Amino acid sequence: MPEYTPPIRDMQFVLHELLDVESKLAELPPYAEHGRELFDQVLEEGGRFCAEVLFPLNRTGDEEGCHYEGDGVVRTPAGFKDAWDRFREAGWPTLTCDPEYGGQGLPYAVGMAFQEMLNSANQAWAMYPGLTHGAYNCLLAHGTPEQKALYLPKLVSGQWTGTMCLTEAHCGTDLGLLRTKAEPQDDGSYRITGTKIFISSGEHDLAENIVHLVLARLPDAPQGTKGISLFVVPKFVPDAAGEPGERNTVRCARIEEKMGIHGNATCVIDLDGARGWLVGEANKGLAAMFVMMNSARIGVGLQTLGLMETAYQNSLAYAKERLQMRSLSGPKAPDKPADPIIVHPDVRRMLLTQKAWTEGSRAFALWLALQSDVAHGHPDEQARKDAEEMLALLTPVVKAFLTDNGFASTVLAQQVFGGHGYIREWGMEQYVRDARINMIYEGTNAIQSLDLLGRKVLGDSGAKLRKFGKLVAEFVEAEGTNEDMAEFVNPLADLGQKVEKLTMEIGMKAFQNPDEAGAAAVDYLRIIGHLVLGYFWARMAKIALERQDSDDPLYRSKLATARFYFAKLMPETAALIRSARAGAKPLMDVEVDLF
């Protein structure tokens, strides 16, 4: 059976030693009174809840799955409802929400650390509150005062949950093709008709009401994405007192039978003239929904980070105990019939790869969360703008780079276990299955790559990328004369220069032929991912070098992992750059009938 220990110490290292969140957040009026003691208490208590309440339900929830009972009724696995009730009673759904609607108002940086632990413990379960928080964010940004007063307190408390209803059977990413209709009514409401698929948390028995955010078309809407509107469609229409009233005609037709995340109800949702209310402006629903979609994309990165951590913990424990063969350089455990497999170079490669991806991703994700706090709470307009641009630039990277590496990491964990990794009782095969969806939903990773290169980089002639590049350049300049940092700073500086040159080259080619951007995009995102993780690993290496003589082994471990990352993982960028430069010709010159 797998085990999970919340990585509190490493989270504290990132939050306090790397990011110095206490002093950074002190500059933001909403968080000026918050301090390290409170943040650490949240991590400790949150970790305890995840490890003791949610983690034991991960395997049983996967094995039992959700059940469609007929007539739109779905039952979640045993224990899920009790865990939800305990989650609510402890106030966890309110953690980072606005106090005006019942939230605790804690910074997103702390909330994201808690979110990682939720996903380590039980990704399928964690999706229910994750989507609810996304619905909260969307209505907070675009809802009317009446909609906020009606829905937000219930979503914040976890009394009601939320979903996002975008996909239809004939259109996934290309939402301009959606057919769901919205007919205006005399009372200001709309009648929504259509079918949505792949709706995570679309129906369940955890909460008394479910608030669906649905994309649909008005009768006179223009074609394509410019004709999409957003509607709030509750499962039960609230009565005059704001409590669940009549049953709306939005129902689950069935739940999908899928590869992983069995404990989450992925539903086909039928809307048969369901009552809904417009959110934001007519025909501008996609822009409003992007608040929820971007939140979900960061959340998907966190889902994978959570799985990486748990899979790594278990493969490390197994590698220390499993006896298999002797070390190539001579016995390391002569009193035993064989050596533990952690003595073998390739097992160490697999473990260190997992560790480097996990810890580097945590630093990146928590820094990005801090940017969200700055964007929403800093008194200086320019500081808010800079943070918003970093969020815009790097959201596709945190989604795609983390999920690609996370899936690879769970496969490596499975490989460390050998044959046992393929057997259910050891737990690794579930992590592989669960991690696989993260590369697909909320926009496939290829879509994230196109977004990064096309919109976020070439769309503003590289302005946002140069802002991040400036952070890298300033660090390189500050540490350039430090010989102890040369092994980290030199490759980082080299990659930064190559990214600048490659970006210009792709931009010029794409100006002549847009397919050039499409051909290079996936490689390009991965290169940028390495630039980002390289920056954070270099910063962590600097701290570790300064404190490596400490009694705390974390610093020596961090330094060793940084050296592994720069020596063994970052060199991947050389092949990626060469592949990106190969352009569209090897792809687009192949005639269709030759496939």
Mean pLDDT for 383-395 is 96
Residue with tokens 């007919």: 183
Query: Looking at this protein, which amino acid is placed at residue 492?
Result: L
Per-residue pLDDT at 107 exceeds 80: yes
- Tokens at 418, concatenated: 């050998």
Domain boundary among 146, 175, 192: 146
Sign of CA dihedral 17, 18, 22, 23: positive
**Does residue 293 surpass a pLDDT of 80?**
no
53 domain residue, yes or no: yes
- Residue 33 pLDDT level (bands cut at 50, 70, 90): confident
Alpha helices in 27-90 (DSSP H): 36-49, 56-64, 80-89
DSSP 554: H
395-403: average pLDDT: 97
Same domain, 544 and 512: yes
Residue in 116, 203, 429, 442 annotated catalytic = 442
Distance CA 354, CA 316 (A): 10
- Looking at the fold, whether 493 and 520 belong to one and the same domain comes out as yes
Model confidence at 292, pLDDT cuts 50, 70, 90, reads: confident
* Whether the predicted pLDDT of 287 surpasses 90: no
474 with 528, same domain? yes
Same domain, 77 and 170: no
pLDDT digits (tens, 9 = 90+) for 211-264: 999 999 999 999 998 999 999 999 999 999 999 999 999 999 999 999 999 999
Residue at a domain's end among 281, 299, 327: 281
Region at 217 (left for phi over 0; alpha for psi -120 to 50; beta for the rest)? beta
Query: Beta strands 250-255 and 244-247: pairing type?
Result: unpaired
According to the model, what pLDDT value does residue 176 have? 84
Helix axes 381-416 and 515-547, enclosed angle (nearest 10):
90
Quickly state the pLDDT bin for 474 (edges 50, 70, 90): very high
And the tokens for 491?
């490759």
- Which of 262, 167, 266, 151 minimizes the C-alpha distance to 209? 151
- Between CA 448 and CA 395 the distance in angstroms is 9
Lowest mean pLDDT among 85-89, 130-134, 201-205, 222-226: 222-226
Give the phi and the psi of residue 72 in degrees, each rounded to 5: 80, 5
Last residue of a domain, one of 146, 170, 199: 146
Q: What is the rounded distance in angstroms from the CA atom of residue 363 to the CA atom of residue 341?
A: 29
Nearest CA to 296 out of 458, 166, 197, 171 is that of 166
Has residue 1 got a pLDDT over 90? Answer: no
CA gap 162, 274 in Å, rounded: 16
Assigned domain for 436 exists = no
Please give the DSSP secondary-structure letter assigned to residue 550: S
Q: Is residue 38 assigned to a domain?
A: yes
DSSP string, 333-394: -TTSSS-BGGGSHHHHHHHHHHHHHHHHHHHHHHHHHHHHHHHHH-S-HHHHHHHHHHHHHH
| Residue 420 binned pLDDT confidence (cut-offs 50, 70, 90) | very high
- CA max distance for the chain: 84
C-alpha distances in Å from residue 460, one per residue of 138, 446, 466, 527: 26, 20, 10, 19
Considering the domain architecture, whether residues 531 and 571 belong to the same structural domain is answered as yes
423 three-state secondary structure: coil
Q: CATH no. for residue 63?
A: 1.10.540.10
| Helices 285-321, 428-436: crossing angle, 10 deg rounding | 160
* Residue 409 forms part of a structural domain: no
pLDDT band at residue 23 under the 50/70/90 scheme: very high
Tens-place pLDDT, residues 433-453: 999 999 999 999 999 999 999
Handedness of CA 302, 304, 305, 310 (dihedral sign): positive
Overall number of domains in the chain: 3
Q: How far is CA 62 from CA 20, 121, 134, 198, in A?
A: 38, 12, 24, 18
Q: So what's the pLDDT on residue 172? A: 82
pLDDT of 348: 98
Domain that holds residue 534: 445-590
The residues, ordered by sequence, that sit 6+ positions from 521 with a Cβ below 8 Å of its Cβ are 446, 449, 450, 452, 453, 454
Burial class for 556, CB neighbours closer than 10 Å (0-12, 13-18, 19+): middle
Same domain for 92 and 166, yes or no, is no
Residue 350 half-sphere exposure toward CB, CA atoms < 13 A: 25
In a domain, 359, yes or no: no
pLDDT exceeds 90 at position 286: no
Do 194 and 126 reside in the same domain of the chain? no
Rounded to the nearest 5°, which phi and psi values hold at 202? -70, -25
449 and 522 belong to one structural domain: yes
Percent of the chain scored above 90 by pLDDT?
95
pLDDT band (50, 70, 90) for residue 59 = very high
Average pLDDT across the chain, whole number: 96
Residues 14, 74, single domain; the answer is yes
Which residue, among 312, 303, 230, 217, has the nearest Cα to 261 in the 3D structure? 303
**The amino acid at 132:** T
Q: Which two tokens stand for residue 457?
A: 């980089």
Assigned domain for 211 exists: yes
Q: Which residue has the higher pLDDT, 288 or 426?
A: 426
**Alpha carbon distance 44, 79 (integer Å):** 23
Residue whose token pair is 């010989």: 483
Which residues are registered as beta bridge partners of 192? 182, 274
Residue 468 lies in a domain: yes
Residues 6+ apart with CB under 8 A from 443: 173, 293, 297, 396, 399, 451
- What pLDDT does residue 527 have? 98
Q: What is the pLDDT of residue 260?
A: 98
Q: Are residues 167 and 61 in the same domain?
A: no
Whether 90 and 197 map to the same domain: the answer is no
Determine the Cα angle at 252 with ends 248 and 256, to 5°: 165
The answer to whether residue 342 sits within a structural domain is no
- Bridge partner residues of 211 (DSSP): 162, 234
What percent of the chain stands above pLDDT 70? Answer: 100
Average pLDDT over residues 535-552: 97
Give the number of other Cβ atoms within 10 Å of residue 360's Cβ.
Answer: 26
In tens, the pLDDT along 327-370 reads: 999 999 999 999 999 999 999 999 999 999 999 999 999 999 99
Tally the C-alpha atoms within 13 A of residue 316's C-alpha that lie toward its C-beta: 15
CATH of the domain at 203: 2.40.110.20
Q: Do 184 and 115 have their domain in common? A: no
Amino acid at position 560, single letter: A
Is 37 considered catalytic here? no
